[in-house]
Amino acid sequence: MKLAVCIYEGPYNHEASDTAYNFIQAALKRGHEFKGIFFYHDGVYNVTKLMEPPQDDRHIANRWSQLGATGIDIVVCIAAAKRRGIVDDVLVPNVRISGLGQLTMMAIEADRLVVFGD
């Protein structure tokens, strides 16, 4: 199945980012394809390289970056990012800032758009 994921919540504060990550890993193992991952609302905070979590904890931004390195398109909403001070300079590699048009294309192209958040 062609899937897309939209994440609404910030890292560590909420389980949405972790659950989405685990969902994606499980779906990839089952052979599903991802049309993209879109960060919206406070979700844009998930991919800033400025985060420095304790070393014995998961590094959420690096984890998304590694997933992006496998070729999955990871997009941060520009409107939500600007409001929150997230710009290109602070992003981890393999993630890009773009518009809501990208979420639209994911919603149109994917068989299922799975939203993680409150």
Partner 1 sequence: MSEEKKKIMFTVRKAPHGSIYVYEGLEVKLIMAAYDADISVVFVDDGVFAVKQGQNTKALGIKGFAATYGALVDYEITKVFVDRQSMEERGMSEDDLLVIGEDEDTEEPIKPQVVDSDEIAAMMAEQHNILAF
Q: Is the dihedral of CA 8, 11, 12, 13 positive or negative?
A: negative
Site for partner 1 contains 108 (CB under 8 A)? yes
The number of CA neighbours under 13 Å toward the Cβ of 118 is: 7
* CB of residue 39 to partner 1, shortest distance in Å: 12
* CB of residue 48 to partner 1, shortest distance in Å: 18
* CB of residue 51 to partner 1, shortest distance in Å: 21
Site for partner 1 contains 112 (CB under 8 A)? yes
**Binding string, 17-46, against partner 1, x = CB under 8 A?**
-----------------------xx-----
- Interface residues toward partner 1, by CB under 8 A: 6, 8, 40-41, 79-80, 99-101, 103-105, 107-108, 110, 112-113, 115, 118
